[in-house]
Structures are given as structure tokens and as C-alpha cells.
Structure 1
């Protein structure tokens, strides 16, 4: 399937990965705080967060400071897709595409529609990030190639940031779609050429 022209754009620079990590770690963080934390100029930060917001990865909200004048914007991860048009459109598109494919190829495991749509959205997100996901519906294991942005980071601590950002994004994506699946384990570099996400069906756990 051909990639969309804006695939990878949201996380295509190391600076955006650092900014997204800061926003995930401190929801509501202000532009000035992002600049201070990352060492980037505020204008540069403003450009990067605009791209992240356009891709539906973050959302900005006014943050009252108890002073006169326009309140500054605080930046948050997207938790509720219904309040974010980009995230909502992504979910709808992924579910429609998944339903179409399932009419052509039967599922290996009987999963409720909500769980299948969670997998649809997770697959599209991971595919857009260049991770080439392979989802085993029977075992609920997602196999990934290592992140193409991993080499962009300068040292080992920053490389850990890449893994943390992907883990939190995958978790946020799953929670944006109502359904029983959640991440039980995120295992980077199980081999030099593979990372892995292990999912859990909470309804199966509850009835076990």
C-alpha cells in the first residue's frame, strides 16, 4: 500500500522526538518550559509543536496563570480522540480499512469488533512510524523493526527516549479506541532486528 505523503513527518526530526517526550512526561508543559528543557529557541519549538499538533500527536490548550492577559498554551498528549479531529479521522480511516481487509481475508482469532479496531489503529500508527508491524492476532504479539529514528539520537540516554516515546504513543493510541486490549509488555530489541509489543485482552483476563 503506498504511503501517505505526510508519513513520518511528525517524528522525522530528533528535536520533535525530544519535545514529544517532554510533553508526554509533563502534560500541560508551556512553550517556554519546552524551550528551556530542550535547549531550543522558542520559535523553533513553536514550529515543531505545530507539526506534532497537525499530526494529531499532541493538543494545545490555554493554561490560565492567574495573571492578566491571554493565557499561554500548555501542550498535552492526545488522550481523547473525540476531541481531536486528526486523531478521530485516523481512527475512522484505520477501522474502515481494517474492515475492508477482513472481508477479503478471514481473521485467525475471533476478536470483538472493538479489539479489531484497536489493532487497526495501532497497526496504522506503527506503520506510519516506519516500524513495519506484523500483528499476530492469535498471540496478540506485535513484531516491529527497530525505529528508523533511533540513530538520530546522539547518546544512549537519548536513544532510550526514542523507545519511551514509541511505548507511550502506542499506549495512547490503544486508549483512544474503546476496546479490551492493552499493552502488557513493550520489549525493545529482543533481537538486533526486532522489537516487540505484547498485548493483553482484559476481557479474557477478567473471565479467566
Structure 2
């Protein structure tokens, strides 16, 4: 499956980038100076990490609107598919939907329970997860996405809470960018910290 990323490339395989992404997910419109202070990284390193995150559609930048003198700053926010949208992420979602439709025509199976827009969301989500180094298994009946084993959680066990938060936010951003009735409902609890099953929610299930 082609995801449009160079082989071996993943913006969130590096924990420093995960940390930066977590910061802009928690509070948007961050400056380089703020991220440098929060991470203790060199400004050039922060810029390089932000560029990688923007290349993958996880972060967007905007120039500050100033009403006083001074050079406007560049502000960085995490994409959420609603308030902060990335053309990269939307383009990939459209391409994933096209590939998904082609596969369903070439390899017909049982009539899917999900409608077309929900299937396109799944297409986009699976391609993004594969590109990030996961091997997702989607149960369309239960609306679950199993990411076990999560190599990143094993390699960064001390940062599991941050990693899970970042990954869930990315998944929601991808679903929102694709457009449709599915959203992330949360992570299923497990006594095994290496097990990761994400629960999705269809709009029709909301009270």
C-alpha cells in the first residue's frame, strides 16, 4: 500500500517530535521560543522537527497578526481537521479514499455495514497508521482499531501516556480531515500496557 511517504519515514517515530506535537496539541499557536523553552532543544532542531511534522500534515503554521510595530511571529498549531486543517492531510485522505474504492471494486467482498463516507475515513486512518509504522487491524462491526503490538509504546515505555494522547489526537485529526460520521471514542482499557485497541464512535451512536 502506498502512503506517499519515503520508505522508513515517520514524523512521530522520534520522541522529540512527539513531545513537540503534544505541546501544540495541548495549546495551539505556539512560537519557536515557547517550544524551545519547553523542550530545551536548540531552536534549529525545533524548526527541523516542526518541518517534518508539517510535511506529514500533523502541524500547520500561521503568521501572527500584529497591531503594533515589530516583526510578526510564526505560530504553530496541531491539525485537528476542523479548526486547524492541513492540505497535506486532506490530500492524503482523498488519495486513500480513491485507493480504497479501487480495492473494493477489484476485490469485492460482503456488503459493508458502514456507509461510503465512513469507509473513506477508515481508508485514510489505516494509511496514516501504516505510514507511521503501525500494523492496524480494523473491526468494522465493533468499530475498533487494534494497534498491538505498539513498537513506539514499547520503545518509549516511560512516555506511554504522552504517546497515547498524541496518537489518539492524530487519529481524530485524520478522521475529521477525511470527513464523515466516525470519531475517536477513546482507548479500551487493558491490563497489558502493550495492548492497544482504539474504540471509534459512529455519529448515529451518540446520545
Q: TM-score range by the shorter chain?
A: 0.7 to 0.9
TM-score by length of 2: 0.87
TM-score by length of 1: 0.87
Aligned to 1:73: 74
User: Structure 1 residue 47: deviation in Å?
Assistant: 0.9
Aligned to 2:95: 93
State the distance in 2 between where 1:130 and 1:74 align: 28
State the distance in 2 between where 1:171 and 1:190 align: 24
Aligned to 2:148: 145
Which string of whole-angstrom CA distances, capped at 9 and with x for unpartnered residues, describes residues 56-101 of structure 1? 1100001235442331111111234895331122111110111112
| Matched-pair contact (CA < 8 Å) for 2:153–2:194 | no
State the distance in 1 between where 2:8 and 2:122 align: 19
1:10 is paired with a residue whose SS is coil
Aligned to 2:18: 17
State the distance in 1 between where 2:25 and 2:7 align: 22
State the distance in 2 between where 1:116 and 1:91 align: 11
User: Structure 1 residue 169: deviation in Å?
Assistant: 0.7
Aligned residue pairs: how many?
204
State the distance in 2 between where 1:112 and 1:32 align: 45
How well do the aligned residues superpose, as a CA RMSD in angstroms?
2.4
- Unpaired runs of at least 5, structure 1: none
Please identify, of 74-83 and 99-108, the stretch whose mean Cα deviation from structure 2 is larger.
74-83
- Hey, which bits of structure 1, 4+ residues long, moved more than 4 A? none
Aligned to 1:133: 136
State the distance in 2 between where 1:96 and 1:123 align: 13
Please identify, of 137-146 and 80-89, the stretch whose mean Cα deviation from structure 2 is larger.
80-89
Q: Higher relative contact order at CA 8 Å, sep ≥6: structure 1 or structure 2?
A: 2
